[in-house]
Amino acid sequence: MENKQGSILIIDDNEELLLALKVFLAPHFLKIVTEKNPNLIPALIKDNFDIILLDMNFSAGINSGNEGFFWMNEILKIDPLACIVFITAYSDVEMAVKAIKEGAADFIQKSWDEKKILSTVLSAYKLRKSKQEIHHLKSKQKHLNENIQQQHHFVHGSSPSILKVIETIKKVSATDANILLLGENGTGKEVVAREIHQHSARKNEIFVKVDLGSVSESLFESELFGHVKGAFTDAKEDRAGRFEIASGGTLFLDEIGNLPLHLQSKLLTVLQNREITRVGSSVTIPIDIRLICATNKDLYHMVEEHSFREDLLYRINTIQIEVPPLRERTEDIENLSEIQK
C-alpha cells in the first residue's frame, strides 16, 4: 500500500457517496474532508486541499451542470492551482469533458469503478504537485528578473543591418507571434531571443532555452514534455518538461534544424494542440508559450529535400528575423569591444 500523502475535499449532496469515497480513499490520503453544502466551499478551501472532488449538480431535479461550473470558477478564483475532479452521473460525461477544457483536472463517474476512481484521483494529485512546482520555479524566475536591469539592451550596434534587427524586435515583441531566427553560429540568435522576451508582455515570466542539438532522441519527449514516476527505468519521480515549465513565458528552441523528422511530428502536434502529455501519463496539460526558434541551417532547402516538415516550418515561422554576421557590420566591432570591457 502506498504511503499516505496529501489532502482531499469531497463535496456532494449524497451522504452515502461521501462516506463510500471517504472510506475508499482513506488508505491513500492523510486528510479527507467531506461536505454536503457547496456554500461552505469558500471557507473550506482556505485550507489549500490538494484535490477537490466536486459534484456537478446539487439541487434536486437539476442536471444542467451549471452549479458545478459555478463552484469550479469560484474555487479557481481563490486557488488558481486547484486540481478539481468532477463527480458525474453517466449523462453528465459530455459536460465533464467541457469542464476539463475550462479548468477541471478530470472527472469520475458515480457508477462505482474503484480502479478508475483511484487512478484518476492519484493522477490529479500528481498534477497538483506539478503545478505547485512550476509555480515555485516561476516565482524564483520572477524574483531574478526583478533584479536584472529591465531597460538593458542586449542587441547593440549602429550598422544598417543590426538597426533593422533592432527595429523588428521592437515591432514583434508586443505580439505573441512565433519567431524564427536565422543566422550563422555566433551571430547572437539567443541574444535576440532574450531581447524579444525582455520587451514582451511576458518579461516577468520565465525564459526557457532548449538546445535541440544536444537533446538525445531517446530523451526528447521526457525533456520537452516531462514524465511521471515509473515511466521508464530512470524515472525516479515526476518531472515537468520544458514546455510545461515555460508555460506563461517564452520557450526558445535553439538548433531546431537538427531535429529528426519523426520528432518534428511530435513537436508539431504539441504546437497545434497547445497541450502536452507527460511520458507515462494520459493526462493532457494545456500550455501557454511564446515560441522562438533558431537555426543556422537552410530550412527551406531542407523542406525541398524532405528532411524538414513544411507544416512545421509554417507553424514556427510567423515572423522571420535574419541575424547578420559581424563581418557584414564591421562598423559595430569597436562599439561591441567597448561593451565587453
Query: Which residue type occupies 274?
Result: R
**What is the length of the chain?**
341
Q: 94 lies in a domain? A: yes
Q: Which residues of the chain have pLDDT under 50?
A: 1, 149-153, 337, 339-341
Instruction: Please give the order of strands across the beta sheet that includes 179-182.
Output: 207-211, 250-254, 290-295, 179-182, 319-322
Q: 1 lies in a domain? A: no
Looking at the fold, whether 29 and 111 belong to one and the same domain comes out as yes
Q: 147 lies in a domain? A: no
Query: Where in the sequence is the domain holding 198, given as residue range(s)?
Result: 152-340
Looking up residue 329, the CATH number of its domain turns out to be: 3.40.50.300
- Residue-level pLDDT at 150: 44
| DSSP codes joined into one string, 191-206 | HHHHHHHHTSTTTTS-
Round to whole Å and give the CA distance between 127 and 150. 33
Q: 14 lies in a domain? A: yes
Q: 232 lies in a domain? A: yes
Residue-wise pLDDT tens digits, 217-230: 888 999 999 888 88
Measure CA 116 to chain center. Answer: 25
Per DSSP, the three-state class of 83 is strand
- Residue-level pLDDT at 158: 57
Looking at the fold, whether 215 and 332 belong to one and the same domain comes out as yes
- Residue-level pLDDT at 104: 86
- Is the pTM of the predicted complex or chain greater than 0.75? no
Residue-wise pLDDT tens digits, 255-284: 999 999 999 999 999 999 999 999 988 888
**Average pLDDT taken over every residue of the chain:** 84
Looking up residue 79, the CATH number of its domain turns out to be: 3.40.50.2300
The number of domains in the chain is: 2
- Residue-level pLDDT at 151: 43
Q: Which residues fall within 8 angstroms of residue 103, CB to CB, at 6 or more apart?
A: 72, 73, 76, 84
Grid cell of 170 as nine digits: 521592437
Looking at the fold, whether 235 and 335 belong to one and the same domain comes out as yes
Looking at the fold, whether 233 and 94 belong to one and the same domain comes out as no
